């Protein structure tokens, strides 16, 4: 009993010393709590469905950031990983009858394989050439999907997969907890020594090579990791929608991922996640709201585009880093972040300017 009390005390101490001192950490804590507590507030089928899709896309957007934001390998065909994993998961589930907890990781491995296959030829390319090549791969795959309707179901796709879990609330918890865990893992990867190497490759690849780093290996690693996380998202999507169709390979989805990430803030795993969690529910709210005005049918996409453009104009580094810079400032001496209203640094006591 005393041990438990001591443990709780320690948790509170860490909470007070490390988490509550910074608005961004508080925001993360509030976000996690809100995500976990949402089904207690409402069990509305529609809202939960939106949030499940949002969390799946959040994994996808974060995985894009891991590859393109950190390593600088502009991938304009991120839907490839999503689609490959969705199809592999669907095939495994339908043909072999594997349950979701086997088919989703195996589907993700399929996406890793796809990452290797497109990664090896793409390693020679840079910048816009890489972007165009990666853009082509999902389109090629979509052609293959249509060419073999016997295996892939053609335009209709593969339907009738097993449900993710029995109930909507359980689905919600599976996808959202996975989103939090995978987001945490991705953030940890980018925060480690590997993350520094990925940063270095983005900044100057020749200099990274001259520092003795095998950049080819690390770029391939980034492709595979990104493919794995995007693949998990694809498998979850297939099992949740109970359908793996050509829409998972669409060019539109690839661009959607980029828009979410750029809106939320690239080169930070939390940025794309926040971007999805802001834009996706916002679009749904807008849909419901605009239904009252039938004379404005395409207003939704217009508002969406205007919002993204304004964000890019006034906050070029993305919404979340911009907000973060507003509420936090860096200590000039020790570079630790502080709340903006502090007069002195919380670590080194230097005067904040």
Partner 1 sequence: MAQSFLEVKNLRKEFGGLTATNDVTFSMGRREIIGLIGPNGAGKTTLLRLISGILKPTSGSIKFKGKNITGAKTWNIVNMGIASTFQNMRPFRRLPIVANVMVPCLSPRAMKRGEWVKKVEAKAMDALEFAGISDMALEKASTLSQGDLKRLEVARAVATDPELLILDEPFGGLSPAETELMAKSVARLHKGGRFGRLHSEGPAMIIIEHKLQQLMKIVDRIIVLNFGTILADGPPDVVVKDPKVIEAYLGDGGTTCS
- Which residues are near partner 1 by CB under 8 A? 193, 196-197, 199-200, 203-204, 206-215, 334-335
For Cα atoms 219, 142, 77, give the angle at the middle one, nearest 5 degrees.
30
Which residue's CB is nearer to partner 1, number 4 or number 210?
Answer: 210
Which residue's CB is nearer to partner 1, number 106 or number 225?
Answer: 225
With contact defined as beta carbons under 8 Å apart, do 51 and 172 qualify?
yes
Which residue's CB is nearer to partner 1, number 193 or number 353?
Answer: 193
Query: What is the nearest approach in angstroms of partner 1 to the Cβ of residue 331?
Result: 9
Q: How far is CA 189 from the centre of its chain?
A: 14
- Between CA 257 and CA 229 the distance in angstroms is 14
- Between CA 89 and CA 182 the distance in angstroms is 19
Which residue's CB is nearer to partner 1, number 27 or number 123?
Answer: 123
Query: What is the nearest approach in angstroms of partner 1 to the Cβ of residue 193?
Result: 5
339 membership: H or E segment, kind and range: strand 337-339
Which residue's CB is nearer to partner 1, number 159 or number 194?
Answer: 194
Query: What is the nearest approach in angstroms of partner 1 to the Cβ of residue 216?
Result: 8
Give, rounded to a whole angstrom, the gap between the first and last alpha carbons of the chain. 47
With contact defined as beta carbons under 8 Å apart, do 151 and 91 qualify?
yes
Neighbours of 36 (CB within 10 A): 14
Query: What is the nearest approach in angstroms of partner 1 to the Cβ of residue 218?
Result: 10
Which residue's CB is nearer to partner 1, number 49 or number 199?
Answer: 199
The single-letter DSSP state of residue 161 is P
With contact defined as beta carbons under 8 Å apart, do 112 and 227 qualify?
yes
With contact defined as beta carbons under 8 Å apart, do 248 and 107 qualify?
no
Q: Tokens 């909507």 map to which residue?
A: 168
Query: What is the nearest approach in angstroms of partner 1 to the Cβ of residue 337?
Result: 12
Which residue's CB is nearer to partner 1, number 1 or number 210?
Answer: 210
- Between CA 180 and CA 151 the distance in angstroms is 34
Query: What is the nearest approach in angstroms of partner 1 to the Cβ of residue 191?
Result: 12
Q: Report DSSP letters for 70-106, one per residue.
A: HH----S-THHHHHHHHHHHHHHHHHS---HHHHHHH
Nearest 5°: phi and psi at 133? Answer: -65, -45
Query: What is the nearest approach in angstroms of partner 1 to the Cβ of residue 207?
Result: 4
Which residue's CB is nearer to partner 1, number 199 or number 242?
Answer: 199
């Amino acid at each position: 009993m005393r041990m438990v009390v001591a443990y709780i005390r320690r948790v509170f101490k860490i909470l007070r010393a490390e988490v509550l001192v910074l608005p961004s950490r508080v925001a993360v804590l509030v976000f996690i709590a809100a995500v976990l507590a949402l089904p207690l507030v409402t069990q509305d089928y529609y809202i939960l469905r939106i949030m499940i899709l949002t969390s799946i896309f959040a994994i996808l957007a974060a995985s894009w950031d891991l590859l393109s934001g950190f390593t600088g390998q502009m991938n304009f065909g991120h839907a490839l990983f999503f689609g490959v994993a969705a199809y592999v998961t669907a095939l495994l589930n339908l043909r072999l009858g594997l349950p979701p907890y086997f088919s989703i990781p195996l589907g993700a491995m399929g996406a890793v394989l796809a990452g290797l296959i497109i990664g090896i030829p793409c390693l020679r390319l840079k910048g816009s050439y890489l972007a165009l090549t990666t853009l082509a791969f999902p389109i090629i795959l979509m052609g293959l999907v249509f060419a073999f309707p016997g295996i892939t179901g053609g335009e209709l796709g593969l339907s009738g997969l097993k449900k993710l879990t029995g109930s909507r609330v359980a689905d919600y918890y599976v996808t959202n907890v996975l989103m939090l865990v995978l987001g945490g893992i991705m953030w940890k990867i980018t925060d480690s020594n590997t993350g520094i190497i990925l940063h270095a490759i983005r900044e100057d690849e020749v200099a990274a090579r001259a520092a003795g780093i095998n950049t080819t290996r690390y770029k391939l690693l980034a492709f595979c990791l990104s493919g794995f996380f995007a693949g998990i998202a694809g498998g979850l999507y297939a099992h949740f929608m109970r359908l793996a169709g050509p829409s998972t390979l669409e060019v539109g989805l690839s661009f959607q991922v980029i828009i979410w990430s750029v809106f939320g803030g690239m080169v930070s795993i939390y940025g794309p996640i926040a971007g999805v969690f802001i834009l996706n529910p916002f679009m749904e709210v807008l849909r419901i709201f605009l239904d009252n005005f039938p004379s404005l049918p395409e207003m939704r996409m217009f508002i969406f585009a205007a919002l993204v453009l304004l964000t890019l104009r006034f906050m070029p580094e993305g919404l979340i880093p911009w907000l973060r810079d507003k509420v936090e400032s860096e200590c000039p001496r020790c570079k630790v972040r502080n709340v903006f209203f502090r007069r002195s640094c919380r670590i080194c006591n230097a005067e904040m300017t």
